[in-house]
Copies of this chain bind each other. A is one copy, B any other.
Amino acid sequence: MSVEEVKNARSAVEFSREKLESILRGRFFYAPAFDLYGGVSGLYDYGPPGCSFQANVVDVWRKHFILEEDMLEVDCTMLTPYEVLKTSGHVDKFSDWMCRDLKTGEIFRADHLVEEVLEARLKGDQEARGLVADANADAEGDADKKKRKKKVKQIKAVKLEDSVVKEYETVLAKIDGYSGPELGELMELYNIGNPVTGDKLEPPMAFNLMFETAIGPSGQLKGYLRPETAQGQFLNFNKLLEFNNGKTPFASASIGKSFRNEISPRAGLLRVREFLMAEIEHFVDPLDKSHPKFGEVKDIKLSFLPRDVQQAGSTEPLVKTIGEAVSSGMVDNETLGYFIARIYMFLIKIGVDDSKLRFRQHMANEMAHYAADCWDAELKTSYGWIECVGCADRSAFDLTVHSNKTKEKMVVRQKLDTPVEVTKFEIDLTKKLFGPKFRKDAPKVEAYLTNLSQEELEAKANELKSNGKIIFKVDGIEGEIELDDKFVNIEKRTKVEHVREYVPNVIEPSFGIGRIIYSVFEHSFWNRPEDTARGVLSFPPLVAPTKVLLVPLSNHKDLAPITAKVSKILRKEQIAFRVDDSGVSIGKRYARNDELGTPFGVTIDFDSVKDDSVTLRERDSTKQVRGSIEDIIKAIRDITYNGVSWEEGTKNLTPFVSQSETD
């Protein structure tokens, strides 16, 4: 098959998630964890091909980002004390809304419940209007239905008012944006209860998604499993800056597991309780977010779904270069734009289908209040568009909160070429009076005063001037505090500064590796049109779990030395391979291999014994060529690691007329 023919073949048979999952589980790409013990939802193990695929993706990630950009990789602990995650906001805000059924003890995730019930009612309406034959027979296979543990077991054909249909559709379009109380109101309004019994549920309660544990034997030190790798990077900022000789911009990076105690996990590998993340924190001057290498990526064309398009109710992406996107102000700055382009390049390299990739800008209500801009790389799968990479400008939020909490400065000191005059309010404390007056509270009062912002100082200066005293409250000290000008002096002063101090902003590309991997599985999967039972996973050779299947034509003892010889060379070259000497037909072995996504087959036959030649088969086109062992391995290496095409890599090899693939 030619390149064009392969392309056509890949889209000839309709995608079936059921077929894909049957292969992924059958070939042990992954499996539900602890299924011997009945399984635990949201936990999956990767078997050998899945694990190897994951390792290859991580390896490409490390080279594409860390090595290419000289990032500083760190490996921080997953166990995290309460105090850190309290400061970061996770203790208070990292939660979903859940509703309990007090009769049955069932627990529902509120937004998912509203979504499923309204979707089911809309489908029932469609059936009642005669627009679908049977609303229960939707596109998902039985296996999927069972796995997703649908709350709505049976859809009833009930016609709705036109206005109600419209209302439901509006709610569904905004389902990700509702607060808990709002979800509670919707459930009240639309009479949404337990979908099986119809009973009313308790109003939505916030459920924190972090796994809690106790550190040490006393049980006193409360900790969590980290919900992201980012906090460890922020906490090490000062050490990283020093390691980088005090220079910015620079980036740290971390690859590791994070945890999320989902209320009711669904959608297979896409929503799990333990997952691999790869995160970058790029620290940059807030006054200069240009990027020196932006020119190298500016002409890359991407699909954007910016905020205004979404507000207009459209999902039609704008296709433009990242250069245009930044210069028009749609993407906030060059550094953010640079990473968006690099994310794109990475995803394409590991096998994401370009036509199923878009960058969606966060709506104002989705974005954390401190974020300057945020774009998600979304990948289209049979579950819809899935957020797989976030790319946010988090401003100076994280460093600031940790610095405020710990009273440890986290700043960059930039030596100024030309010193500048700076005018600002300063406060002087007559410290010897504080001790006698406040005793043990003195440090708290002093800290409060020295941490006042310029605006606050200005107000206090005026207060002191007008009233001869200032009045304020300090957290943890009862009552108001009054101080006169014997205690404090606030003045506007002009000074010459030689060093500029600033808290850097953070651009954070954050990758959910498991979601990306599952999406690549879907994007790579197809069935051969000539035999639709035959599935193929067309992974790029670079990330394929195994690069070569070594196939001796038979178990004849004469072939064994050649198999051993090729094995030895492949092992020395560190090209991952497997030998299949199972004795079933070549066609069956190739078919098995296509399911594992192995790009190359090397066949050893009786001619190999005579002249050391072997046959090389390409997975997608099933094309075969013949050559010496050395030349064949060189072709494999060039195509796998050096970006050479099959045509180019095999041009000096002899085309080989293959046996039937389906024998």
Given A40-B79, A217-B261, A242-B28: A72 touches B45 (CB 8 Å cut-off): no
A interface residues, how many (CB within 8 angstroms): 76
A196: CB under 8 A from chain B? Answer: no
Q: Within the assembled complex, what's the spacing in Å between the Cα atoms of A243 and B580? A: 12
With A79-B40, A83-B37 known as contacts, the answer to whether A51 contacts B31 (CB < 8 A) is: no
Q: Which of A62-70, A181-189, A448-456, A485-493 contacts B (4 or more CB under 8 A)?
A: A62-70
Instruction: Please determine whether A74 and B55 come into contact, CB atoms closer than 8 angstroms.
Output: no
Picked from B62, B76, B213, B408, the residue with its CB within 8 Å of the CB of A213 is B213
| Cα–Cα, bound, A256→B34 (Å) | 17
Q: Whole-angstrom distance between the alpha carbons of A72 and B67 in the complex?
A: 28
CB-based contact A52/B73 at 8 Å:
yes
Q: How far is the CA of A488 from the CA of B264 in the complex (A)?
A: 46
A interface: dominant SS: mixed
Within 223-273 of A, Cβ neighbours of B (below 8 Å) are at 223, 225, 232, 235-236, 239-240, 242-243, 245, 256-257, 259, 261, 263-264, 273
Assess the A576–B67 pair: CB atoms within 8 A: yes
**What separation, in Å, do the CA atoms of A343 and B41 have in the docked complex?**
37
Assess whether B211 is in contact with A263, with CB atoms less than 8 Å apart.
Answer: no
Closest chain B residue, CB of each to CB of A575: B67
**Contact of A263 with B217 at beta-carbon distance under 8 Å, contacts A48-B243, A50-B75 already known:** yes
CB neighbours of A215 from chain B (8 A): 40, 211, 261, 273
Q: Is the CB of A74 within 8 A of B98?
A: no
Q: Does A427 make an interface contact (CB < 8 A)? A: no
Q: In the complex, A68→B256 CA distance in Å?
A: 26
What are the residues of chain B within 8 A of A239 when measuring CB–CB?
28, 31, 47
Cβ 8 A contact of A274, one of B47, B77, B211: B77
A384 at the interface (CB under 8 A from B): no
Q: Is A36 an interface residue (CB 8 A)?
A: yes
A295: interface (CB < 8 Å): no
A34→B263 contact, CB < 8 A: no
- Quick one: copies of this chain in the complex? 2
Q: Cβ of A78 and Cβ of B243 under 8 Å apart?
A: no
Asked whether, in the complex, the Cβ of B98 is within 8 Å of the Cβ of A75, the reply is no
CA distance A391 to B84 in the complex (A): 39
CB distance from A432 to the nearest CB of B (A): 29
Docked pose: A216 CA to B105 CA in angstroms: 13
B74–A46 touching, CB < 8 Å:
yes
Map CB proximity to B onto A568-585 as digits: 1 under 8 Å, 0 otherwise: 000100101010001000
**Contacts A217-B261, A576-B67 given: A273-B76 contact, CB under 8 Å?**
no
Chain B residues closer than 8 Å to A72, beta-carbon distance: 47-48
* Residue A214 interfacial (CB < 8 Å): yes
Per the bound structure, the CA–CA distance linking A218 and B48 in Å amounts to 33
- Please name all residues of chain B whose beta carbon is closer than 8 Å to the beta carbon of A217 when the two chains form the complex: 98, 107, 207, 261, 263-264
CB-defined contacts of A43 to chain B, threshold 8 Å: 77, 79
Most buried by B among A51, A68, A214: A51
- A51 CB contacts on chain B under 8 angstroms: 73-75
Q: Give complex CA distance A52, B68 in Å.
A: 15
Contact between B574 and A63, CB atoms less than 8 A apart: yes
A650 in the interface, Cβ–Cβ < 8 Å? Answer: no
Q: What residues of chain B lie closer than 8 Å to A61, measured between beta carbons?
A: none
Given the known interface contacts A84-B34, A402-B36, A576-B67, the answer about A240 and B28 at a Cβ–Cβ threshold of 8 Å is yes
Q: Which residues in B have their C-beta under 8 angstroms from that of A213?
A: 211-213, 225
A477 within 8 A of B: no
Contact between chains at B33 and A77 (CB < 8 Å): yes
> Top 8 closest A-B pairs, CB basis?
A46-B75, A48-B72, A45-B76, A43-B77, A51-B75, A211-B213, A51-B73, A33-B77
A-B contact pairs, 14 of them (CB 8 A): A28-B242, A34-B80, A34-B81, A34-B84, A36-B406, A40-B215, A44-B77, A45-B77, A45-B236, A46-B76, A48-B240, A78-B257, A212-B214, A213-B225
Given A33-B232, A55-B62, 17 further pairs, Cβ under 8 A: A31-B236, A31-B239, A34-B80, A36-B402, A36-B406, A40-B221, A44-B77, A45-B74, A46-B74, A46-B75, A48-B72, A48-B243, A79-B211, A207-B217, A215-B273, A245-B582, A257-B257
